[in-house]
Structures are given as structure tokens and as C-alpha cells.
Amino acid sequence: MFEKLKSIDDAPFNLLLLADPSMDMVLEKLNKGECFLYKVESEVIGCYVLNRVTRNRVELVNIAVSEKNQGCGMGKQLILHAFDYTKESGYSEIVVGTGNSSIGQIAFYQKAGFRMLEINKGFFERHYKEKIYENGILCRDMIMFLKQL
């Protein structure tokens, strides 16, 4: 069952930090946006955060599924809920960014109908103190994707 996060104090930081290793960045995104939780019984197994960019565009800034529930289609359910909520809220576009080293996420977003929009070169080098490696690749650049709703 989906529900909107009522208080940042109750945010599932264990999940949010899977998608973004910086607590400062996670808190900044939570303070600016709306967080949605997917719960089974009382356990949060997935979540996502949306931030308004413009009158017509919202950004999916964090999407995460608990490690034990990954690979079961939960990410797809989260993103479909985000699409529905975004449309109902009057937005016509949704954007999302991921690292150049996030091979699985790049495929995931394209399968969900996103198209590459731009590359923000050096984003991770500018915004993160610690180097991030995924799949043996240094994460340097943010690849932005866009989906028309």
C-alpha cells in the first residue's frame, strides 16, 4: 500500500541512502519534496521522492527498494505510482537523473519510457566528497532522463 510520508523524522533513511549515499543530499531532497512509501503490513519496502522543478515538470530525485525485495518488480510499481501521482498533480513531464556508472538504473529508466535528456558532467565530483564507484566504474557524471506524461 502506498502512503505519503507525514514527517521527515519517519523517513526510511535505510532505503533512501541506498539510492543516494549522502545524508545531506537526502535531507535536502526530502525538505524540498514529497516522499511516498510502499508498505507491506507495517514494513516499508520501497519509496520515492518527487521535487517540483517547474509548473509542468517534476523530478524523481530518489527511488529505492529494500535489498531483499529488489528484482521482484517493486521498482516498476514505484515508478508507475510516481507517473500516476505526477499526472494527477497536473505535471506533464517527469525527469530523473542517475550516475554514469549506474548501469542497471540507466536500463531501468529507459524501459520505463524515459529518454536521455542531457549529461551534467562532473556532477558527482562537485557534490560528493567521497568518490563513488559502481560496477567498477567511477561515478562522475549525472545522466538526466525525461518522460512526457
Distance CA 112, CA 42 (A): 28
pLDDT at residue 29 in the model: 95
Question: Is 0.75 topped by the overall pTM?
Answer: yes
pLDDT at residue 62 in the model: 93
pLDDT at residue 23 in the model: 94
- 3-state secondary structure labels for all residues of the chain: CEEECCCHHHCCHHHHHHHCCCHHHHHHHHHHCEEEEEEECCEEEEEEEEEECCCCEEEEEEEEECHHHCCCCHHHHHHHHHHHHHHHCCCCEEEEEEECCCHHHHHHHHHCCCEEEEEECCHHHHHCCCCCEECCEECCCEEEEEEEC
pLDDT at residue 100 in the model: 98
pLDDT at residue 118 in the model: 98
pLDDT at residue 37 in the model: 98
Amino acid, single-letter form, for residue 84? D
pLDDT at residue 112 in the model: 97
pLDDT at residue 95 in the model: 98
pLDDT at residue 27 in the model: 96
Residues of the chain with pLDDT > 70, as a percent, come to 100
Mean pLDDT of the chain: 96
- Using the CB atoms, write b or e for 35-66: b if 16+ within 10 Å: bbbbeeeeebbbbbbbbeeeeebbbbbbbbbb
Hey, what domains does the chain have and what are their CATH numbers?
2-148 (3.40.630.30)
pLDDT at residue 75 in the model: 95
pLDDT in tens, 95-147: 999 999 999 999 999 999 999 999 999 999 999 999 999 999 999 999 999 99
pLDDT at residue 106 in the model: 97
CB 26 within 8 A of CB 62: yes
